[in-house]
Amino acid sequence: MEIELKFQLPESKKKNVLQTLNKQKAQKIRLQAKYYDTADRLLAKNYVAIRLRQEGEHWVQTFKAASKNHLQRIEEDIFLGKCAEEPELDLSLYKHNQTVQSVLRDILGNNAPELILQFQTDVQRSFHVFEFENSKIEVCLDDGEIRTPTDQAKICEVEFELKQGSAQDLILFSKTWVEKYQLWLDVRSKAERGNLLAIGKKVSPATKAKSLNLESNASAEQAIKQIVENTLNHILPNTAAIADGVAEAPHVHQARVGLRRLRSALKHFSNWSTQIDPTWESQLAEIFQALGQSRDFDAIKDAVIPLVQQVSHFEFGLITNQPNNIAQQFSHPKTTQLFLSLLNFVYSENEHKAKLSKQAAKSLSQLYAKILKDSAQFLDLPVEQQHRTRKRVKQLRYCIDFIAGLYPEKNIQPFLDKLEPIQEYLGFYNDLYVAEKIFEQQAVGQPKFLFALGWVKAQQPHVAKKADKKLKTLSIQDAFW
């Protein structure tokens, strides 16, 4: 198991990092690698990479596969030594490694198709092993490029690999470099970037949330750490695309969903661990807001404008004059430090053994009581508090998703069936108010938006009544926990 963190390095800081490494008499080596896959790229689709790499005068064949999070990877190196001729890829070299055999069999089947060369990398690596606390950490500066027969891309990144010691030491050590050299966390591997270059794309599809199955015998503290890990697995690939300036609308949407899931867990499960930093919430809220304008415009274009156009003859094209600086937000050291602090929490020692099921029931009950109180007076609430109700319902849904494995599905599903239309109506209700603000701005230069503005204002009370009707169906007896 390889434990490693990788960061992108601004070109302007490369000289400074090199100087720091050279002061330690860093070693230097040229690494030339060839990456292989099936014609339809089955390995890449399953987050697996196989390469042959010349390291100075020696050759190494390497298998890499994704693990439980973005800090760890399954890795198997076969050292081939000096070779009179360039070696050929040989999967039989892994015949004694059951983990590798199992992964390859699941992906390629029993009769593995031919693996063909997809792309190459050529890197000048400067590296040194630092001692930090009780650990040894290798820092590598990789400067080079990825190549295909028709294209190439620059590599300028810093890797921190744990050679001996704890993952916490690795994380804390890397934090000292982030501010100094403006590093930003990038969970995309060279293999992923090379595969994209080979198929002529700039970015992988947006990463969606994966289900989490908590063990009933886990402590509440173990559970919240697994939840944070699960949300980071969702967030980090999408924010890496954003930081690199190659994100598409689904990456922004999924980053927001991931951040909302994480904030929900920290807000309602915060008493499950004394190691949760209360400042995380305000920091997460800040980067969440940075994504807001982009999301709002996309939501209005997709959910509101088509409905307005059904009752008018106008075409409503949104114009925004505000610069989109979300890439800078997610490549900023402050954001990277936050993600590293969350990763550090995942690897911290467990201090409490409070029973998960008891803590989960208590947390859900507290949140649900607030929703029931809101539902009894929803139409009388100020708009801001009505939208607070929407957030609470969404948070409840995320919290239930996290702990669903603790309860029989037959108990959970009827409750979720009640919650779904409530979320939809409250979500659309919020979109109408967001649209109102946007349409007021657009109407200054485009008078036709006055029609759209009138339409959304007319819809608001009708949608509020529908949401209220659905909220009234909730009762304390519905609680399955």
pLDDT (tens digit, 9 = 90+) per residue, 378-422?
999 999 999 999 999 999 999 999 999 999 999 999 999 999 999
Same domain, 415 and 271: yes
223 lies in a domain?
Answer: no
Residue 321 has pLDDT above 90, yes or no: no
Q: Kindly report the CATH number assigned to the domain that includes residue 309.
A: 1.40.20.10
Same domain, 184 and 289: no
Same domain, 406 and 321: yes
Share of the chain above pLDDT 70, in %: 99
Give tens-digit pLDDT for 11-53.
999 999 999 999 999 999 999 999 999 999 999 999 999 999 9
Question: Where is average pLDDT lowest: 149-153, 181-185, 315-319?
Answer: 315-319
pLDDT at 299: 83
Same domain, 471 and 386: yes
Residue 314 has pLDDT above 60, yes or no: yes
224 lies in a domain?
Answer: no
Q: Buried b / exposed e across 301-326, counting CB within 10 Å, b at 16+?
A: eeebbebbeeeeeeebebeeeeeeeb
Task: Provide the 3-class DSSP secondary structure of residue 135.
Answer: strand
Same domain, 192 and 248: no
How confident is the model over 421-445, as a mean pLDDT?
Answer: 95
Q: Kindly report the CATH number assigned to the domain that includes residue 47.
A: 2.40.320.10
Same domain, 196 and 245: no
- With a threshold of 0.85, does the pTM exceed it? yes
94 lies in a domain?
Answer: yes
211 lies in a domain?
Answer: no
Give tens-digit pLDDT for 195-215.
999 999 999 999 999 999 999
Same domain, 439 and 387: yes
Residue 190's Cβ-side half-sphere holds a number of Cα atoms within 13 Å equal to 31
444 lies in a domain?
Answer: yes
213 lies in a domain?
Answer: no
- Residue 343 is part of which domain span? 230-478
221 lies in a domain?
Answer: no
Last residue of a domain, one of 201, 217, 252: 201
Confidence of residue 291 (pLDDT cuts 50, 70, 90): confident
Confidence of residue 471 (pLDDT cuts 50, 70, 90): very high
Residues 427 and 390: beta-carbon distance below 8 Å: yes
Same domain, 197 and 240: no
Residue 341 has pLDDT above 90, yes or no: yes
For the chain, the domain total comes to 2
Among candidate residues 262, 292, 289, 256, the one with its CA nearest the CA of residue 277: 262
